[in-house]
Amino acid sequence: MSNRLARYGGMRLSKRLRRSVPYIGTAIALATVVATVRRKGLVSGSIDTGLNAMPVVGAVKNAIEVIRGRDFFPDRAPAAGGAPRVTAR
């Protein structure tokens, strides 16, 4: 009897997790959208975040980026003559 209950509980838990995984990935992507847009620019950052928000597409994109060793949407170049770096003495 307890084995049946454990299997039933495990199936219900896995069903709930399976439904929530896309939402968890989207929440993480939304949390990083501001930093990504600042780093990559409005268009590239938005496209990169949008692709990362899609469950399968984002995983495939990230796997290809790891294999290639570089981003599909590279960071924009730092502004020339930016603010001077402050160092502790």
**Tens of pLDDT, residues 30-50:** 778 888 888 899 999 889 988
* 80 part of a folded domain: no
**3-class DSSP assignment, residue 59:** helix
* 15 part of a folded domain: no
Give residue 68's pLDDT band: very low, low, confident or very high (50, 70, 90): very high
Instruction: Report the predicted TM-score, pTM, of the whole model to 2 decimal places.
Output: 0.55
* 4 part of a folded domain: no
Mean pLDDT computed over 4-30: 73
Q: Which domain holds residue 54?
A: 21-74
CA distance 23 to 16: 12
